[in-house]
Structure 1
Amino acid sequence: MRLLRSFLLVLTLAVLSLPLTGQVWAEDAAVAAVNYEDWERTAARAEDELETKDPSDERLDELRGQLADWRGALSTAQTANAARIATVKEQIAALGPAPAEGETEAEELSARRKELADRLVVLQAPGIAAEEAYQRADGLIREIDRVMRERQADALLRLWPSPVNPANWPEAAVGFSDTLMRLWYETTEAWADPHARDRLVDNLPLIVLLLGVWAGLAIYARRWIDVYAERLQLRGGALRRRILAVVASLGLVVVPVLGVVALTSALRATGLLGEVGTRLNDALPVLGFVISFAAWLGLRAFPRQQEAGAMLPLPPERRAEGRFWSVVMGLTVAAEILRSRAMDPQEYSEATTAVMSLPILIVGGIALWRMGQVLRQARDGTAQPNYVLTLLSLIAQAIGVIGVGGPILAAIGYVAAANAIIFPAIISLALITVIFILQRLIADFWAMALIRRGSSEAEASTDGLVPVLAGFALTLLSLPVFALVWGARYSDLTELWTRFREGFQMGETRISPTDFLVFVLIFLAGYAVTRLIQGALRTTILPKTSMDRGGQTALVAGVGYVGIFLAALVAIRATGIDLSGLAIVAGALSVGIGFGLQNIVQNFVSGIILLVERPVSEGDWVEVGGVQGIVKSISVRSTKVQTFDRTMVIVPNADFVSQQVKNWTRFSLAGRLVVPVNVAYGTDTRLVEKILGEIAEAQPLAILNPPPAVAFTGFGPDALTFEIRVILRDVNFGSQVRTEINHQIIERFAVAGIEIPAAQSDVTLRNVDEIVRALSLVGGARPLAEMGGQADAAPAAAAVIREKDESG
């Protein structure tokens, strides 16, 4: 196989060295950007080590890095001569299809086709060679990743000597005492050296000063910062208090770490530290940071003074417990760092490491389990838990399981597996807390910015869109960190990013994130240009023309649709996306989409018809489907109509095309107004007609040609009916004109003594005797003669009924 690859490589180089016929291409001299001889040696060495040797993890990482560099160079080399290849292919296509078997073509065309085909082969040779080498490098990288993953899995599942077995305790005690004795012997040997004692005496003032700085920063400064941060929470507005409190509380991390650095410098200045002492001394700043940072996270997550709307609604005793277990987690991580720095370089046995790690793992498991209990109470104590509390409840359950299962695994002997779940769980919990703190800080800054711009505190909510998007972005950015915490290698992340950049295949085109970015940028640029053109047409150009408002709206909307379509087309063309492969799928889905979206398509087509034919325009007074109002806007799917009671109705465009539409103002603002009038019987009808005619002609908006008319329409049950029929120049003022006409009718009829009758009803009782007889059966009814006869029977009967009701 290796001989075959070498033969292909030599053949490719030979093809590259052939002179081109015709025009000399300048790019051919720069084709060999990759030194294939060096690549062959690197690939052969990697294959040899993977096949015949058992390289260490460090060596595998080194080989993988070299292969990854080569793969990147080969990936770039695959696109060599891409522009020239595309040009030659277009030239070959311009010559037309090749003749079928048994057919011939002109000699000039045949020679030109052969020349272009030879040129295409030469141009494609570097890309083919680079692709073959790329596949080889990619395969070697995959093999190395597989070997390293298998080693990692074997290490996690390896069964160590059980730390709970008393037989392993003496060996662990020997290892622990050996470490202490090493530290003691190093110190005593340094003290026995006169030169070391002289340096100690010389550096004694500096040592005392550094120790004083450490004591001051560790004891007093921390207390002052704590008190100052609590005071800030009582001043100013809520947003300002929270921001200042977070910034000030960072001193609880920085100041103790500076104090530990001073302590480390003081111990180093003594000159009494040996190998083990130096390792432990160098670890002190890390230990100080871990403990201080854990305490700070606990203080931010479980504050002493909790404000309204806190993320974790907990009682004071639970918050105090949360702060305590946060510090315990920090101490657990610090203890593991201290153990590994002191004992791992000595290469003690697995039994010693297991026994020494078990107490640390037990404390870490208890801290995780108790912290899970505290977080679950935050959700259980809320009547309506939100999404964040639900998510924290799931996290609490997970760390509770880890807190119980981790020490059990370590006690059985799976110490590496216990380490791989307990400490990542602690670090992940800290990282989640950091994300919540940063998201809340960004939300507070955003709310303050809105307040400075003039928004009220109620409008400047910290739960707006921007803070939510910021939290989402922080979560995405933290995913690689979570992966590293839980055992992923850096090379795994780089490999994932490489695969992501390579994209995916769509038809004959490979789509990469870069292509998506180019598509978005070009489309947004085209969209922005379209909006600028629409704005210029709407505000500058079209108002100076004689086109009506409806036509202007239709033209602006049409420009928008055409511009968006062209922007998408140009963006697809620029990214080189080949959509021909989706033609079959699109054809298969078109029927289903047609049935599912037929209403939307119908409304879309109707919207285009409305914008082109313009039977309805913005500002028209229309009536369609029982809805009457003013057209406010016309889009491709629906039309917004504002009714006269100031409500906005969304009417599908299909209703304007398929139903009967009454447009009061589209072609003319003139319209007829009809006002009915009733007068009492016996009124002089000629006088009424004259008065009504004068009132109609006196209206300023009335058109006098044709003149207003008064019609005597008939005889009603209670009155004589008339109608004033007048055509107004602007029907939009119909209600105002109707009101004025009614006012003048009242005034003129009062002067002329004309009565406007009110509706009345007469009730006649025909069976009065039967009613009285029925009342007498009840008892106490007086004779009909006493009631005053039939005329007064009804009132008398009513009186009798009232008497019976009052007597019970």
Structure 2
Amino acid sequence: MTSLRHVFAGLAICLLAMTATHPVAAQGDDKAQEAVQKIELENAQNRISEWDDALGDLEKTIARDEVTNRFISDGRDKIETIQLGVNTLHDRADERLKRFKAALGKLGEPPAEGQEEVPAVARERERIGQDIARVTGVIKQLELVDFRATELSDQLAALARERFTRRILGRVDVPLDPGVWLTAWGEIVRLPSMVQARYANLELEGQAADELAEIAPGLVLLSFIVIAALIGGEVLVLRYMPARWKAVPSEDRVALISGTRFLFTAMVPGIALLVAYGILDSREDLLNGAMGDFIHQCFAAALFLLFVGAAIRSVHSPFSPTLRRAGTTPRGARIVGVSSLVVALIFAWDMVLLQGATTLGTSLDIALVQSISNVLIISVLLFVSSLGVFWVHDEKDRHEFWPKLERRSRRGLKAVAILMPVLMALGYVALARFILENLMMGLAFLTCYWLLRGYSRALMHTYLVRPEPAEDSKTTDAVHGTLYFWLRVLIDVVMVTIAVPVAVMIFTDIAWVDLILAVQQAFVGIQVGGIHFSLKSILLAALMFVIVLGAMRFFQRMLSTRVLPNTKLDQGLQHSVSAIFGYAGICLAVLLAISAAGMDLSNLAIIAGAISVGIGFGMQSIVNNFVSGLILLVERPIKVGDWIVVGADQGFVKDIRVRATEIETFDRSSVVIPNSELISNRVLNWTLKERSGRGIIKIGVSYGADVDKVREILLEMADKRREILSYPAPQVVFMDFGASSLDFELRYFLRDIGDVMAVASSIRFELVQRFRDEGIEIPFPQRDLNLRDIDKLTEAIRDAGRGQTRPRPETPQVEDKQAPQSDDVDGHGADQQATPPSAAKDISRDQDASSRGIPDAGGDPDADAPR
């Protein structure tokens, strides 16, 4: 968290510094930009003429029908360069024109007819008008050049699509004569000797020799870098592994090792190869004609083999299966890895042989036999690699995303491996090759992306999320998990942003200039009514919101942890100040983000009107709770830490949020109460003004106890408690003469009302023991019962035991000394009283026994009958 604070603080300081230095820097940039624009516009005519000549040459070549595949590729590259230059110069001219028009507007309206103008102003107006006319002419010429370039680009694209379709969907007769195959393979074997015989006596002279001599040292150096990276990458990774990597989890360790191998054995030599090809391609006399195409294809094959070979070694690790990243078995890692390496070698060799045969002008049978043979071999190897016997089948992870994707990918690979031989048997050899090429390029691209993504995550997890050893870490796993999650999201966003344009360029026919124009259009945006939408403004608004909100959160945390605790404000007021500062920070961040997005703040009135309609329909409770929360923070009828009672719930206030307030009860459960209820209903707050409060202990003693002694003991118990205030002094109140006891109350005031339960319980424990020592009885409720006519009841029970039926006995009266007795109750009234349940049950039981002739249990007639 400390590092995050430093980051937010640095961003805030940078933002303030940029804001403070903006006027001075803007003035300097404006002057420099104006000078650059002036120079570019002065040279605009020359550049426009060059572009017109280049476009004219392309048009003549297309008209003569001398279009080759290399010409289409080079022509589109030239057109892309021209369009980029035209767009840049057009933007400069537009900015220049806006400046001239703004300067002309400052001169005011031209004078009316018959009026004269100040000579200096007239001359300045005339000069600015000439500049506007010149810049407007340049803009028109640039628009014309852009139109011609677009037309030529469309023609070349149409030619490329037509040739591509004709080549891909073209059907050939597959040679079935074995002699043709033997002859073709014999010529393929002799291709190296044919190249040597043709180019053995080749001597570079003149400009080509001079250019090759100039770039030879650089090419040698780059070749040395490629060899050193290929050899040293494996040694560095396998022998000099950092000690820290051995302590990380196995998944991160394998990702680090495979990613480092890929970087050293693919990225470094691949960049060196690209630089070498760029140096050769920059010399026009070195890569001309068919030989130039052959060298280009050799570089492409070498680059493909370099990346795919490194990716296969890093993913499958066939010679060290413990370092594999794919879900293969140890045996499958060797078989799948070696098969993939063989496929990459055959594919690269096929690219070189096919271009070499085209360069040497060999027969079509050679290219056909070579394509069919290589595609068949590759199909068999791909089918073997996709067999499930070489892959791990874990039932526990069977339904997770990556295992399901791996199974479906292997099924798709099997289908493609079966489809390509079928297409070749039908004669669609070019279509099979096209599918194979795109499949190989797609697998290589996805593998490289997956390796670099895992490598970036492992590096971040090892060196950023847990920079210290686990046993010394004071940060919780939850914080590490949250930080790891957001860093992974950042890595995915960055890598997808980079990978998508690269994939579009590789797998589609979209020109680089078209992609740049699309991105520019997305950043520039579109106009919808009076609102301008653009990706640039949206990203700027989001960045502004994050920076301002992060800075305000940082200052809020500083305020609540360092500034407010050192003041004399109570805890609730500190929370209110911190919460209001947080709400103000959110509002400021939203307003700045809206302003950065280019929206007029005056339009907020319309938005407020729309929101008010929403409030009227369905947001009353939300707004009511929000306003109630603001009232709670301002008026502060309750504060954080208060002990409140709301209906049947009571506890301490833990947090006052926008919509609701959280209360922690005494059993540590949380009760969330909407703020509107705290405003509209009755709330008992024990600690609103101060923490002190009154406690009461009720106690009853027997009627025979010494009341003075009781009073003395109770006051003594209260006086010796440190939590009880001496002023107001504790007092003992004789409340009443109870039914069973003399009732007293011990009343006292506590320093902190939160101690009321603990103090009362402690005093009660001591009172029980003290009363026992003093002989003071604490009575329990007593009740005296008086039974009248007990003799009649006894005689009735005795007769029932003898089996004699007697008239219904009079029910004995129960006299409660505490209940008032009526004077008009006589014997007749006693007979009408309800029989007690127990007596009625005994009489009924005896009657049933006598009617069934049950013998008497006792022999003595005077003895008690069984009840």
Tell me the TM-score normalised to structure 1 length.
0.70
1:291–1:445 Cα change, 3 Å: closer
Q: Is the CA contact (8 Å cut-off) linking 1:161 and 1:351 kept in structure 2?
A: no
Unpaired segments ≥5 residues, structure 2? 1-32, 110-114, 117-121, 203-223, 274-289, 786-835
Distance 1:27 1:249 in 2: 49
Offset of 1:738 from its aligned partner? 0.9
Q: How does 1:395-794 map to 2 (within 5 A)?
A: 395-449=409-463, 450-455=465-470, 459=477, 464-467=485-488, 469-489=490-510, 491=512, 492-508=514-530, 510-527=532-549, 530-531=552-553, 534=556, 537-538=559-560, 547-573=569-595, 576-578=598-600, 587=609, 591-592=613-614, 595-679=617-701, 688=710, 691-696=713-718, 698-700=720-722, 701-702=724-725, 704-705=727-728, 707-712=730-735, 715=738, 722-757=744-779, 765-766=838-839, 767-768=841-842, 783=857
- In structure 2, the residue corresponding to 1:610 is in which secondary structure? helix
| Aligned mate of 2:350, from 327, 336, 354 | 336
Which of 353, 357, 376 is equivalent to 1:362?
376
| 1:61 aligned onto 2:77 | yes
- Match 1:166 to one of 156, 175, 197: 175
Report the counterpart of residue 3 of structure 1 in structure 2: none
* Residue 563 of structure 1, CA deviation: 4.0
**2:459 alignment partner AA:** F
For the 8 Å contact 2:552–2:585, the answer to whether it is kept is yes
Q: Which stretch shifts more, 751-760 or 73-82?
A: 751-760
Q: Secondary structure at the match of 1:618?
A: coil
Specify the alignment match of 2:822 in structure 1: none
Conserved 8 A contact 1:506-1:581: no
Letter in 2 for 1:246: S
Three-state SS of the structure 1 residue aligned to 2:857 is coil
Q: CA deviation at 1:334?
A: 2.2
SS in 2 for 1:62: helix
Task: Give the Å deviation of 1:362.
Answer: 3.0
Deviation at 1:357, TM superposition (A): 1.2
Q: 2-side partners of 1:747 and 1:567: how far apart?
A: 65
- The 1:577–1:318 alpha-carbon spacing in structure 2 relative to 1, beyond 3 Å, is same
1:731 Cα deviation from its structure 2 partner: 0.9
Q: What CA deviation, in whole Å up to 9, does each residue of 1:164-198 have, x standing for no partner?
A: 633798777666544544533565799999xxxxx
Contact 1:85 1:123 survives alignment (8 Å): no
1:77 to 89, 93, 109: 93
**d(CA) in 1 for partners of 2:90 and 2:152?**
19
Could you tell me how far apart the structure 1 residues matched to 2:851 and 2:458 are?
Answer: 86
**2-structure distance, mates of 1:241, 1:473:** 23
C-alpha contact 1:375 1:396 (8 A) present in aligned 2: no
Does 1:345 pair with 2:345? Answer: no
1:157 aligns with 2:165: yes
Q: Please name the residue that 2:824 is paired with.
A: none
SS at match of 2:96: coil
Cα-Cα RMSD: 5.7
1:183 to 192, 197, 221: 192
Aligned to 2:316: 299
Counterpart amino acid of 1:486? Answer: F
Distance 1:752 1:771 in 2: 53
Distance of 2:570 and 2:306 partners within structure 1: 73
Deviation track 1:229-263 (CA, whole Å, cap 9, x = no partner) reads 999999766458536743785699589x99xx9xx
Cα shift at 1:733: 1.6
Per-residue deviation, 1:522: 4.4
Q: Give the Cα separation in 1 of the matches to 2:602 and 2:382.
A: 56
Q: Secondary structure at the match of 1:80?
A: helix
Q: Against the structure 1 CA distance between its residues 423 and 566, is the aligned structure 2 distance closer, same or farther, given a 3 Å change threshold?
A: same
Q: Distance in 1 between matches of 2:340 and 2:698?
A: 84
CA contact (8 A) 2:329 2:390 kept: no
Structure 2 letter corresponding to 1:335:
W
How far 1:323 moved relative to its partner? 2.3
Which aligned pairs between 1:72-111 and structure 2 lie closer than 5 A? 72-80=88-96, 82=98
Tell me the amino acid that sits aligned with residue 440 of structure 2.
I
Q: Indicate how the Cα distance of structure 1 residues 713 and 441 shifts in structure 2: closer, same or farther if over 3 A, else same.
A: farther
Distance 1:573 1:155 in 2: 52
Give, in angstroms, the shift of residue 611 of structure 1: 1.4
Deviation at 1:465, TM superposition (A): 4.2
1:204 matched to which residue of 2? none
Aligned equivalents of 1:373, 1:636: Cα separation in 2: 59
Contact 2:662 2:673 in 1 (8 A): yes
Relative distance call for 1:78 and 1:740 in structure 2 (3 A) is same
Which aligned pairs between 1:140-155 and structure 2 lie closer than 5 A? 142-144=150-152, 146-155=154-163
Question: How far 1:614 sits from its partner (Å)?
Answer: 1.3
- Select the residue among 227, 242, 265 that pairs with 2:254: 242
Deviation at 1:74, TM superposition (A): 0.9
Deviation of the 1:608 alpha carbon: 1.3
